[in-house]
Structure 1
């Protein structure tokens, strides 16, 4: 395969269609269905948001035969946009590049068109909040804090099947559902032809689709739920930091917000009200605000819940993956042992032989690489472990864990998005 081509996109009757191809080869078409309403949305505003999703969703198909040669047929990029998409397709695909032994120079390179006129500003006077939901601790905490503050909002969930986590029905608000239909048939064909696979900046993709849904419903605020995370790289490829969580970092949130301000509307806010908190403090807040209601119906386990097309109505924990180990570390300081173990079939995960290497990666022991998952920082998780051990309710890991002075109540930079 040679050049990757961004063919075009369209929107009709609540459905977006995004098309891509490799020059002389494989074609891909993805569709996304959005919740409809009688709101008279601004078509120019929607067009700008669709273009952003179009460019970001492209990562899902570009990765099959990565190349530096890319072409965007519908529209031109100015210098800032070209730099933005270069960052997405390089830093956002860093894990993919690492796992497939690809150098930064072999990844996509977008060129700016000469002297493009500045896009006219589109003012957006509608008001309302769309809060992204997954069934995990962070998004449920945001929803609970909004309810506690008597703030109106619409919970939104992006599904890849006909189901959604039933815990979202307990939020007390009508759930807004969108459906993403990845072109699995074309991806399977690409794989059979020798195509590659790997992680893409999915948080960016989901945020962009939430932005479209917000515009269709007349909302001006899109709330994601991300704490201070993703800042600790797993490895390096020359000057390229390798991280699973690039699109969840503070720099990525700022970049996305700047794109929306410059190219969609300065009146639309996209960001996380939890950004200023550590993952450990978010766990403590979740226990205080949400555990009684959601403690036995939420989950952060990808293995058990979030496979494409899977029925995830009832969320569960597999009890044997990095996300489960990470969650056990984060909650152990704040939840009684028997209560926490009940989520994992009565098991104390610290005592599981099968998880010892995983815990070593999470805690930075014996040079075991940190798992490619959305997990806490090493010092943060070491602090969590020692806080849990101080309760004298949990088993011990089979290896020593260095002490940590991590201040889990420290405040981190954020957009200061008020709930």
Structure 2
């Protein structure tokens, strides 16, 4: 069925409420959703923690808000025009959630050919019952919660904060070997690796099999709300993300469609405001790497001990097997962004694939560098830094006396190479002022990831 037909047949999506209980060192949370006439859904979370105060008003706000973040993954099945929720939200809150849903579903709408707009895609109707508005019960928070995905970005964050990890915890939703290995290698003991378990309702998967609407949703918003909830339960003051400035670039060249919307600065800013104005837990949320580009992060990562190079994983296709698939846009991007800083033979060994010599990856490279209008729908860097990295990889091969692999040879013949090559060596001193870092952390990041390399470049010229 089409978007319009589904909305006509299933006009309402209902968020009935939340069930929660504490047992055996875990807070269990179940959200009750329903698309009347189709299915009820009961996604479930288990968060390890000490027994929380059942009357803590901030905890109620955090738990319900995580449910609102979960909601969109089930709503997208039919895109019901009306969403009914069991609590009262202000007009400002309703607008906030609609903005998250609309922006976070940009790729979903685009790839499903759905034409809609902010005003008409969803109407949120609220009950009269209000969530408790009293101040948070926990008044004294300290320490950091660091989400660790197992890729180079969170590894860089762990290393930048290596002298501040004594009271820090790592965070990952569901267990992933590469995430645990990264946290352990950075010095965070296993007992301080917090792993909430998130379980999708099987009825959603059944809908996918039946051909209902499906596609990308803003997963990093789930990370945001669940990590702040987990931090609060453990008395931790800050959630330190690893999202970079490059995440704010649109995936589609002619429209604001960003695969990484909930990793963007816009979302980070919006979320911080929502926490301050409505959640009021006292937990701070910001990305340590926000002022940096993927290029700068890759440069710093390449300088880390090789033990980190052996364990990092960023490939979604190979995630369940904890490996690189060696044949996707994410694997190719990682090869590109590391190629100015590591020997290509080493990249081939780490990824298990000679990506630059695979002819069928040329169209993917063209998407990454902007020769084609849209970037891959993956978490990849900006078009500019991809071009800079490719130019520097060509220069590195020449300096090392190495024959250019196929894709670099073809790239060298393009107008993009001619455009970016003259200034490529001067790239890497950028600092995006749009961030929420405290002054001491901003100084730390700038010194380690910008100034240090700028001095090295100057001394070598």
TM-score, normalisation: structure 2: 0.81
Aligned to 1:97: 109
Q: Which residue among 13, 17, 20 is the counterpart of 2:33?
A: 20
Secondary structure of 1:375 counterpart = coil
Aligned to 1:371: 376
Distance 1:39 1:145, change over 3 A: farther
Q: Which runs of 5+ in 1 are unaligned?
A: none
Aligned to 2:65: 52
After TM superposition, give the deviation of residue 2 of structure 1 in Å. 1.4
1:156 aligns with 2:165: no
Aligned to 2:389: 384
For the Cα contact (< 8 Å) 2:178–2:312, is it kept in 1?
no
Equivalent residue runs for 1:280-291 within 5 Å: 280-288=295-303, 290-291=304-305
Distance 1:152 1:144, change over 3 A: farther
1:209 aligns with 2:226: yes
Q: Which structure carries more helix by proportion?
A: 2
Distance 1:26 1:170, change over 3 A: same
Secondary structure of 1:235 counterpart = coil
Aligned to 1:231: 248
1:189 aligns with 2:214: no
After TM superposition, give the deviation of residue 39 of structure 1 in Å. 6.6
Higher relative contact order (CA 8 A, sep 6+): 1
Equivalent residue runs for 1:9-408 within 5 Å: 9-13=18-22, 14-37=27-50, 43-73=56-86, 75-105=87-117, 107-110=121-124, 119-122=133-136, 124-149=139-164, 152-159=167-174, 165-174=180-189, 175-183=193-201, 185-235=202-252, 241-265=256-280, 267-288=282-303, 290-305=304-319, 310=320, 312=321, 315-345=322-352, 347=354, 349-365=355-371, 367-392=372-397, 393=402, 394-395=404-405, 396-399=408-411, 400=414, 401-402=416-417, 403-404=419-420, 407-408=427-428
Distance 1:182 1:112, change over 3 A: closer
After TM superposition, give the deviation of residue 43 of structure 1 in Å. 2.2
> Residues 188-241 of structure 1, C-alpha deviation per residue, up to 9 Å, x if partnerless?
33235541110000001112111111111111111111111232223389xx62
After TM superposition, give the deviation of residue 368 of structure 1 in Å. 4.7
Distance 1:98 1:319, change over 3 A: same
Residues matched between the structures, number = 404
| Pair member with larger Rg | 2
Aligned to 1:415: 436
Q: Residues of 2 paired with 1:31 and 1:162: CA distance?
A: 22
For the Cα contact (< 8 Å) 1:276–1:414, is it kept in 2?
yes
Distance 1:149 1:33, change over 3 A: closer
Secondary structure of 1:200 counterpart = coil
Q: Residues of 1 paired with 2:36 and 2:80: CA distance?
A: 11
Q: Which runs of 5+ in 2 are unaligned?
A: 1-9, 442-461
Distance 1:162 1:384, change over 3 A: closer
> For the aligned residues, what is the CA RMSD?
2.6
After TM superposition, give the deviation of residue 144 of structure 1 in Å. 1.5
Q: Residues of 2 paired with 1:72 and 1:196: CA distance?
A: 22
For the Cα contact (< 8 Å) 1:220–1:268, is it kept in 2?
yes
Aligned to 2:451: none
Secondary structure of 1:370 counterpart = coil
Aligned to 2:447: none
> Residues 262-301 of structure 1, C-alpha deviation per residue, up to 9 Å, x if partnerless?
112262201111101111001111122x342311111111
